[in-house]
Amino acid sequence: MSEPTSTDPISTAPPGTGRIGVRKTYKLFIGGAFPRSESGRSYVVNDAKGRFVANASQASRKDVRDAVGAARKAFGAWSERTPYNRGQILYRVAEMLEGRRAQFVDELRAAGQAKSAASTEVDQAVDRWVWYAGWADKLGAVVGSANPVAGPFFNFSTPEPTGVVGVIAPDSPLLGLVSVVAPAIVSGNTCVVVAAEPAPLPAITLAEVLATSDLPGGVVNLLTGRRAELAPWLASHMDVDALDLAGIVSGGAELEEAAAGNLKRVIRPGSGDWSEEPGTARMTAFLETKTVWHPVGV
Amino acid sequence: MDFEYAPAPESRAVVDIRPSYGLFIGGEWTDGSGGDRRKTIDPATEEPLAEFVVATAADVDRAVAAARAAHDRVWGPMPGRERAKYLYRIARIIQERSRELAVLESIDNGKPIRESRDVDLPLVAAHFFYNAGWADKLGHAGFGPDPRPLGVAAQVIPWNFPLLMLAWKIAPALACGNTVVLKPAETTPLTALAFAEICRQAELPPGVVNIVTGAGETGRALVAHDGVDKVAFTGSTDVGRQIARTVAGTRKRLTLELGGKAANIVYDDAALDQAVEGVVNGIFFNQGHVCCAGSRLLVQESIADELLGRLRTRMATLRVGDPLDKNTDVGAINSAEQLDRITALSEAGELEGAERWSPPCELPERGFWFAPTLFTGVAQSHRIAREEIFGPVLSVLTFRTPAEAVEKANNTPYGLSAGVWTEKGSRVLWTAERLRAGVVWANTFNKFDPASPFGGYKESGFGREGGRHGLEAYLDV
C-alpha cells in the first residue's frame, strides 16, 4: 500500500514539488446526475491505514426521497425496453468496467485489499455483469409458462419486474454491490442503493461506469451515507416495492416490519459468499408472475 | 309456453351436520383446552348450524407439535410417490362426496348451490388431483434436483370459498412434503371439519393435516407460533400487513393472497353481450365475495350508454334468494358484519355523489341479503372506487383512450386481477402487458384452474398459488 499510483486519490508528493494531483469529488448518483447531498453533509472516508482519502456525501432522508422519485420515473421506460436491449446495456456496463480495471483495483486497495484480491474482485465484478446480462432474454423462458388448463383457454404466465427496489448493499464494496444491483435491474426493475458504509467510494466510481453505459438515468440510484439512518426511510417508503437487505447486520427485523406497510417483497439479510455463482434467487425475488387467460374459439 | 319461475331446491338430506365439533389434531377429534365455543349460522336463515371450539394458544401448540411429529417421522421421509397416492385418494373421496360437500358449503356460506356444485367442488377435487401428480416430480419443477419441504405450514383461510381455499393451501403443501395446521374462517368452519373426516377416510397419517377452528385470536396464535416454518394467508390486506409484521425477523416463509379492486375494461369494439355476461360474472359471482372480483367497470365513453343499458337489463334477470335453489344466481351475504360493511360503503358512494341503481328485487325477510347494485358517475377518488367492498356492488367509470384505461385501472394500491374486453388481439396483449395485476382475464373473467398461477402485485400480496409456480411457496428454495 506504500507505492502511490497515478490514480491514487491522494498526492504523496511533498508539498511544492512536482505536479499536484486533481482529486475527485465523490457525490451521489440520482436520476443520472451527480448531485451532492441536499443536506450539505459529508463524512470522511479513510484508507485502511487511517489516512484521509475523500469526503463522501452523507445522504439524507430527502435524498432517499429524490432517489425513489427518480427510480419510479425511470421504471416505466426501463421495464418496457426489450430484454435484448437490457441485456446489451448490462453487457456494456461490463465493457466499461473492464476498461476501468486499474482504477477499481486502486480503489479497492485503498479500501484495504491486497493487490491480488483487489484484482480478482474486479475480474469477478466484470464477469458478474456479463453473467446477468445474458439472463435478460432468458428469464421469461425459464420462469414463465404456458399452463394446461382444463378448458378452451390459452393461458400463459410471464415474469414482470416488481418496480422500485430498495437495496442496502453489502460491505463487499464492488463485487457485493454488483451482485445485488445487476439482478434487480436486469429484469426491468429500477433501484435505490445505499452503498457499503465503510467503503463507499467504489460505488460512486461504479456510478460513473453506469452513467457511460447507455443505462437510462434513474435506473440505478446510488446513495452514500449511514445505513442506520437511510435504511428505515427506504424500508418504510410507500413508493418502494421491494427491499434487498443484503448489507444489514442488525436491525433487519425492524426494517422488515417497516416494509410490511405496503407489503414489499423482501430479501432478508444473509451472509453470502459473493464470489460464488449466484443462481436465480435474487432475480426471481423481484419478479411478479402475470397470468393471462384468453378463450380459444372461432 | 310458460316460463314462470318455480323453485328447484337442492335437498339438505345429503348433509349430516353434527351439533358440535371438536378440533382435529393428530388425527383425532379433541376438545379445546379453553371451553370457549362459538356457533356457525346459516346466513340465509340466521339459524344456528353447529357449535365449534375456539382454539386457544395451548390448542394451537398441540396442533403444531402434532404436525411437527408427523413431518419428521412420517410425511417428510415418505417417498413422493406414496404421498401422491394419499392426495389422489383425497381427490377421489372429494369427488365421491361432492354433492354433500356442495350443499354443506352453500348452507354454511350462503353461496348459490349452482356455484358450489359447478365451480367450488370440481376445483377442490382438481387441486388435489393436480398437486398429487407433483409429489413425485418435484425434481423436475425447476427448483433443483431434490427440493426439500419447509416443514410445518400454518395456513389461515377466508370465508368466501371455504373448501376451495383449503384445497389451494393444503394440496400443494402436502405434495411438497410439508404438514399443515389450518384455521378456517369463524363463519364457515364446516367444510374444513368435513375435510378432516375425509383425511380419516383416506387414512392420511395422523398429524399431517390438523384443523383448528376459532377466530382472530386463534389465527394470531397460529401465525406467531415459533414451531411453524411457513405462513400462508388469504384474506384482507389489513390482516395481511399484520401477519407480515408478525413474521418479520423470523425464519418463517410467507405468502399472502390479499384484497383487490380489479378493473374490468370494456373497449368500444368489444362483443357487448359477451362483455355484459363477463361484467355480471365478474362482480356478482359469489355475491361479489371474491378478492379478484371485477368491482370497477371501466367502459369506453362512446359505448357507455349502450353497455350500461344492456347491463341493467341483464341485472334485472338475476335471481337473488335461497342458496339451495338451483335457480339462484346471487345467494346470501356471508355474515351480518359483512352486510354492514357493504351497506356502509354503498351509503358512502351515494354521499360522495355517485348514482346508485339496483333492479327491482325482492329480498327474503330473514338472513343477510344485498341486491345487485350499480354505481354510475363514480370518480377515482370515491371510496367505492378505491376500497374493496367484497359485495355485489359495481362501480362504473369511463375512459376515452387505451392509455387512460390503463392508467385508471392501475390507479389502486391493489394488483390482483383485471379484465379486458376487445375483439382486437393486439389491443388485448397491449393492455394485458400494461396492467399491474397478477391475473388478466381477456374476453373472459373469474376463471380458475389448478394449473394456472394465481396471486397479486403490490398490496394484493405476494407468492403464487397454482401451477408450477405455486410449489415454490412450500419448498425450501
Q: What is the DSSP string of B69-101?
A: HHIIIIITTS-HHHHHHHHHHHHHHHHHTHHHH
B241 contact residues in A (CB cutoff 8 A) = 260-261, 263
Asked whether the beta carbons of B442 and B263 are under 8 A apart, the reply is no
**Cell for B93?**
373421496
> Same domain, yes or no, for B230 and B332?
no
CA distance A85 to chain B (A): 18
> Same domain, yes or no, for B383 and B331?
yes
> Same domain, yes or no, for B195 and B330?
no
User: For the range B238-245, what are the long-range contacts, defined as Cβ-Cβ under 8 Å and sequence gap of 24 or more?
Assistant: B240/A263, B240/B461, B241/A260, B241/A261, B241/A263, B243/B156, B244/A256, B244/A257, B244/A259, B244/A260, B244/A263, B245/A257, B245/A260
What does the alpha-carbon distance between residue B217 and residue B194 come to, in Å, rounded to a whole number? 23
Q: Scanning every residue of chain A, which has its alpha carbon at the shortest distance from the alpha carbon of B141?
A: A143
pLDDT at residue A6 greater than cutoff 70 = no
> Same domain, yes or no, for B298 and B435?
yes
Asked whether the beta carbons of B448 and B123 are under 8 A apart, the reply is yes
What does the alpha-carbon distance between residue B186 and residue B159 come to, in Å, rounded to a whole number? 8
pLDDT at residue A2 greater than cutoff 80 = no
Q: Quick one: pLDDT at residue A7?
A: 47
How many separate domains does chain B show? Answer: 2
> Same domain, yes or no, for B183 and B291?
no
**A142-185 pLDDT per residue, tens:** 999 999 999 999 999 999 999 999 999 999 999 999 999 999 99
What does the alpha-carbon distance between residue B463 and residue B410 come to, in Å, rounded to a whole number? 20
B98 contacts: CB under 8 Å, gap ≥ 6: B117, B121, B122, B124, B125
> B84 lies in a domain?
yes
Report the residue of A263, A284, A286 to disrupt the B interface, i.e. the one with the largest count of B CBs within 10 Å.
Answer: A263
> Same domain, yes or no, for B336 and B356?
yes
> Same domain, yes or no, for B144 and B253?
yes
The CATH number given to whatever domain includes residue B390 is: 3.40.309.10
* Top-tier CATH class for A42-295: alpha beta
B442 contact residues in A (CB cutoff 8 A) = 292-294
Q: Is the dihedral of CA B333, B335, B336, B342 positive or negative?
A: negative
**A9-20 pLDDT per residue, tens:** 454 556 667 899
What does the alpha-carbon distance between residue A159 and residue B363 come to, in Å, rounded to a whole number? 45
Q: Scanning every residue of chain A, which has its alpha carbon at the shortest distance from the alpha carbon of B274?
A: A295
A162 contacts: CB under 8 Å, gap ≥ 6: A189, A241, A242, A265, A286, A287, A288, B457
Put the strands of the sheet holding B37-41 in their side by side order: B20-21, B48-53, B37-41
3-state secondary structure of B26: coil
B271/A contact by beta carbon, under 8 A: no
The residue segments making up the domain with residue B326 are 263-442
Residues pairing with B421 in the sheet:
B266
B461 contact residues in A (CB cutoff 8 A) = 263
Q: Quick one: pLDDT at residue A3?
A: 42
Amino acid at B76: G
> Same domain, yes or no, for B461 and B421?
no
Angle at B248 between CA B247 and CA B249, to 5 degrees: 115
Between β-strands B179-183 and B209-211, what pairing exists: parallel, antiparallel or unpaired? parallel
Q: Quick one: pLDDT at residue A16?
A: 66
Where along chain A do its domains lie? 42-295
> B107 lies in a domain?
yes
CB contact under 8 A, B249 and A257: yes
> Same domain, yes or no, for B129 and B146?
yes
Mean pLDDT computed over every residue of chain A: 94
> Same domain, yes or no, for B212 and B351?
no
B453 contact residues in A (CB cutoff 8 A) = 145, 147, 157, 289, 291
What does the alpha-carbon distance between residue B111 and residue B165 come to, in Å, rounded to a whole number? 15
> B450 lies in a domain?
no
> B6 lies in a domain?
no
> B419 lies in a domain?
yes
Percent of chain A residues past pLDDT 90, beyond the cut: 91
pLDDT at residue A130 greater than cutoff 60 = yes
**Cell for A183?**
439482478
Report the residue of A267, A287, A294 to disrupt the B interface, i.e. the one with the largest count of B CBs within 10 Å.
Answer: A294
In B372-416 the beta strands, taken as DSSP E runs, fall at: 373-376, 393-399
What does the alpha-carbon distance between residue A266 and residue A278 come to, in Å, rounded to a whole number? 17
DSSP B226-258: TT-SEEEEES-HHHHHHHHHHHTTSS-EEEEE-
B98/A contact by beta carbon, under 8 A: no
| pLDDT level of residue A298 (50, 70, 90 thresholds) | confident
**A234-272 pLDDT per residue, tens:** 999 999 999 999 999 999 999 999 999 999 999 999 877
B54 contacts: CB under 8 Å, gap ≥ 6: B32, B34, B36, B37, B38, B213, B214, B215, B217, B218
Q: Quick one: pLDDT at residue A48?
A: 87
Distances from the Cα of A221 to the Cαs of A68, A130, A203, A207, in angstroms? Answer: 8, 20, 10, 8
Report the residue of B469, B475, B476 to disrupt the A interface, i.e. the one with the largest count of A CBs within 10 Å.
Answer: B469
Is B257 labeled as catalytic in the residue annotation? Answer: yes
* Cβ–Cβ pairs < 8 A, chains A and B: 107
**Cell for A150?**
382444463
**A38-90 pLDDT per residue, tens:** 999 999 999 989 999 999 999 999 999 999 999 999 999 999 999 999 999 99
3-state secondary structure of A23: coil
pLDDT tens, residue order, chain B (477 aa): 677 889 999 999 999 999 999 999 999 999 999 989 999 999 999 999 999 999 999 999 999 999 999 999 999 999 999 999 999 999 999 999 999 999 999 999 999 999 999 999 999 999 999 999 999 999 999 999 999 999 999 999 999 999 999 999 999 999 999 999 999 999 999 999 999 999 999 999 999 999 999 999 999 999 999 999 999 999 999 999 999 999 999 999 999 999 999 999 999 999 999 999 999 999 999 999 999 999 999 999 999 999 999 999 999 999 999 999 999 999 999 999 999 999 999 999 999 999 999 999 999 999 999 999 999 999 999 999 999 999 999 999 999 999 999 999 999 999 999 999 999 999 999 999 999 999 999 999 999 999 999 999 999 999 999 999 999 999 999
CB contact under 8 A, A149 and B432: no
3-state secondary structure of A184: helix
Q: Is the dihedral of CA B441, B442, B443, B448 positive or negative?
A: negative
Neighbours of B341 (CB within 10 A): 17
> Which segments of chain A does DSSP mark as H helices, in order?
61-80, 83-99, 101-110, 115-135, 139-143, 175-185, 201-211, 227-236, 252-259, 281-284
CA distance B406 to chain A (A): 13
3-state secondary structure of B373: strand
Between β-strands B20-21 and B48-53, what pairing exists: parallel, antiparallel or unpaired? parallel
CB contact under 8 A, A262 and B438: no
Asked whether the beta carbons of B243 and B397 are under 8 A apart, the reply is no
> Same domain, yes or no, for B303 and B421?
yes
pLDDT at residue A8 greater than cutoff 60 = no
Is B199 labeled as catalytic in the residue annotation? Answer: no
CA atoms within 13 A on the CB side of B450: 27
| pLDDT level of residue A1 (50, 70, 90 thresholds) | very low
What does the alpha-carbon distance between residue B50 and residue B104 come to, in Å, rounded to a whole number? 12
CB contact under 8 A, B441 and A293: yes
